[in-house]
């Protein structure tokens, strides 16, 4: 199956929701924690401690048509007054859905949403296991490696210019 066919199949079988941070259900926060933080000895905290509503931002959520959660990612404006740059954070796919193209689909949809709102630049903080994933989506390294204070694992800033 080609990438185009794969994306069409996903698009036809997935429901997307774009929710403001204050409306994101607890199950999304739990999924983000389980996939991105649990194995790195990061203590679980209530959703209010993780997301500052003053920063704005939204979650793009992917579900099967039966409501089963597949994955999500967070879009955060760098400066809400000038939305030409978007930070993408917490890109996560449930373990059962990994390898199906859901992460790629979420990223492309997040970029599409950002572009429609005037974004010209997207950046993210990638963990070392995901470097190749983002490179295949045309993100480039724009920082040296650094170690996250939260997870103690290697990260790099990666950026895509439109």
pTM for the whole thing? Answer: 0.87
Q: What is the pLDDT of residue 50?
A: 67
Question: What is the bridge-based pairing of β-strands 121-127 and 85-93?
Answer: parallel
Angle at 17 between CA 56 and CA 123, to 5 degrees: 50
Q: Which CATH architecture has domain 3-161?
A: 3-Layer(aba) Sandwich (3.40)
Sorted by where each begins, the domain ranges of the chain are: 3-161
83-95 pLDDT per residue, tens:
789 999 999 999 9
Q: Which two tokens stand for residue 127?
A: 């963990």
Q: What is the pLDDT of residue 150?
A: 86
Q: Which residues of the chain, if any, have pLDDT below 50? A: 1
Q: Which two tokens stand for residue 73?
A: 């990612």
Query: In whole angstroms, what is the distance from residue 127 CA to residue 111 CA?
Result: 19
CA neighbours closer than 13 Å in the CB half-sphere of residue 107: 23
């Amino acid at each position: 199956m080609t990438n185009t066919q794969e994306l069409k199949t996903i698009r036809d079988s997935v429901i997307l929701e774009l929710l403001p941070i204050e409306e994101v259900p607890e199950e999304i926060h739990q999924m983000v924690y389980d996939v991105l933080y649990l194995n790195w000895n990061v203590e679980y905290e209530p959703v209010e401690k993780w997301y500052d509503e003053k920063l704005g931002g939204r979650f793009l959520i992917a579900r099967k048509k039966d409501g089963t959660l597949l994955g999500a990612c967070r879009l955060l404006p760098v400066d809400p007054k000038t939305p030409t740059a978007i930070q993408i954070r917490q890109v996560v796919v449930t373990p059962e859905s990994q390898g199906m193209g859901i992460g790629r689909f979420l990223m492309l949809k997040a970029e599409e949403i950002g572009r429609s709102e005037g974004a010209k630049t997207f950046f993210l903080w990638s963990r070392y296991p995901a470097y190749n994933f983002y490179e295949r989506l045309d993100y480039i390294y724009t920082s040296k490696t650094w170690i996250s204070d939260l997870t103690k694992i290697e990260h790099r800033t990666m950026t895509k210019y439109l």
